[in-house]
Amino acid sequence: MANYKYDTFECLCRNDFSGKSCEKGLESCKKLYDTYNSSKVSQLVTLHIDSKQTAVLCHLGDFGCGDGGWTPVMKIDGNKNTFHYGSGYWSDKSEYNLPGGETGFDAQETKLPTYWNTSFTKICLGMKIGQQINFIVINKQANSLYSLIADDQYRATSLGRNTWKTLIGSQASLQINCNKEGFNAVGTSSSNSKARIGIINNQENDCGSCDSRIGFGTGGFPDDSNTCGNAAAISPDNGDKYIKAMGYILVQ
């Protein structure tokens, strides 16, 4: 009598697990997209982070930042001080309003565990003013957004002032000098404009007293209450502006 061994099998996994035996918990929306790349419809999934389950809305396909699976990290209301430049949320590993990670591009602020746990090669930044949302992408490889911001060290990007201005649209305004952009962008005067992610500018030919910015996690002159959006004064290129936006940060 012949003996037969049946050791080839494939499990049909739920969309928050992968692996031959569905033993691997889904850790990012990129993994979801790469595993089930026939789907380009945003969907609510459970990510397995720090041995915990976190429900998030995975943004799949190209909504303005390019194709793929985008993992939500933060949503910031520029009218609130929750994520002001000086907020401890930028340097700690504490979440804020987890249900906000399930609701897409709305007005619910959130900080998810993906801030300190999700590695990436791209960052998608969006600003919503009224009903219009504009997006830009930073090509940057890192272990997490936390690793780029929490230590308060400046890390430069090279998008250029015009790209940052597209987040705001035709109303965007910045002074013409300094143009210091990236993560933890601060001039030599800490009371002036600063941004956890963004660009700061000055009317003088240095970064000593920047009076304008576009960014996320902002603060300082000329409007310390504006924590996401565009604040500009003292001879900016499109007039004084005090535009508060709803900001979205996703990674891939």
pLDDT tens for each residue of 120-164: 999 999 999 999 999 999 999 999 999 999 999 999 999 999 999
pLDDT of residue 20: 40
- Does residue 180 sit within a domain? yes
Residue of 56, 80, 81, 79 lying closest to 69 (CA atoms): 56
Which neighbouring-strand residues pair with 58?
A: 43
Which neighbouring-strand residues pair with 201?
A: 212
- Does residue 7 sit within a domain? no
Element of type H or E holding 29: helix 29-35
Length, in residues, of the chain: 252
Element of type H or E holding 2: none
Q: Provide the whole-model pTM.
A: 0.91
pLDDT of residue 7: 53
- Does residue 48 sit within a domain? no
pLDDT of residue 21: 35
Tokens matching residue 184: 């933890």
| Residue ranges of the chain with per-residue pLDDT less than 50 | 1-2, 4-6, 9-12, 14, 17-23
Tokens matching residue 38: 């026939």
- Domain of residue 168 covers 72-252
- Does residue 99 sit within a domain? yes
- Does residue 194 sit within a domain? yes
Residue of 246, 249, 250 lying closest to 108 (CA atoms): 246
- Does residue 245 sit within a domain? yes
- Does residue 98 sit within a domain? yes
- Does residue 234 sit within a domain? yes
d(C-alpha 40, C-alpha 38), whole Å: 7
**How many domains in the chain?**
1
pLDDT of residue 37: 65
